A and B are shown apart, each in its own frame.
Chain A
Amino acid sequence: MAFQISLNFSIAFTWMFLKGEYSVQDFFNGYFFGLLMIFALRRFFHHRFYLWNIVAVLKLLYIFNRELIMSNLAVLKVVLSPKMTARPGIFKLETELKKDWEITILANLITLTPGTLVVEISDDNRFLYIHAMDLEDAEEARKDIKNTFEKAIQEVSR
């Protein structure tokens, strides 16, 4: 992905040199044509066309924001309810993610999910121990983490 972006930049600069005009407008024109070139030649790269990665990053950002708002509503409900009916506990979650930065992002996302907070990550990076505010919902939270977050993160690093 980084290689394709730097290639796109150098195409844009080549475009500016060819035209002999050095303005922001010319840079963006060159960048756009470079994007078309890279799209046309995408089967020669090892990774996929990098615009899809950028779309995946934007999707991940959207998920971050949505979860932040949802988790605040969940905490609000627990704090303002007259009786403490929540049953907290620590549960274990197996993750398929391998790289360190992926696990960091997953842990941050889980922390922002309604009612869950990461306590510990096992030494072999295979299990996350998560403190849940309400274990009744924990099964659902587990499914959520598996289906949406892990998939979104894998999509970014593909």
Chain B
Amino acid sequence: MIVIANIIIGYFILQGALLSLIAAFGVVRLPDAYTRNHAASKSATLGVISILLGVFFYFWLIEGHLNARIILGIVFVFMTAPVSGHLIMRAAYNTKVPLWEKSVQDDLESDRKKESVKG
């Protein structure tokens, strides 16, 4: 029983750490603010959630203590991370941070131009 618990805990914590590492790599390697935001807002979310799950299982299976605050933390991260990603993205776009030069399409810019012509 303890062995299985150790395997589960180790798996979750390692997975979370690896995903956070990959998110950091992505922030360094990707070309512009928008693609960096992709890496940061996705991999970091699942990374943090996996580490929290590992901690939860550690206290539950090894110490015999059921900590509901960790579950609440998981729910909060899960709900707020996509929203913060969206807000950073939007703030970047509205302050005219340029897209990567190899970007192929920008529907939002053309739509905004149309509206300003109309108005």
Whole-angstrom distance between the alpha carbons of A46 and B52 in the complex?
42
**Which of chain B's residues 17-36 have a Cβ closer than 8 Å to chain A?**
19, 22-23, 25-26, 29-32, 34-35
Q: Which of A78, A80, A88, A91 contacts B107 (CB 8 A)?
A: A91
Which of the 9-residue segments B4-12, B39-47, B55-63, B64-72 touches chain A? Answer: B39-47
Task: Provide the main secondary structure of the chain A interface.
Answer: mixed
Are B106 and A89 in touch, CB under 8 angstroms?
yes
29 pairs, CB–CB < 8 Å, chain A vs chain B: A68-B42, A69-B46, A71-B42, A72-B19, A75-B23, A78-B35, A80-B25, A84-B29, A88-B103, A89-B103, A90-B99, A90-B105, A90-B108, A91-B105, A92-B111, A107-B86, A108-B79, A111-B86, A112-B45, A112-B82, A117-B38, A117-B41, A117-B89, A119-B93, A120-B90, A129-B111, A131-B34, A131-B89, A135-B105
Instruction: Give residues in B with beta carbon < 8 Å to A.
Output: 19, 22-23, 25-26, 29-32, 34-35, 37-39, 41-43, 45-46, 49, 78-79, 82-83, 85-86, 89-90, 93, 99-100, 102-109, 111
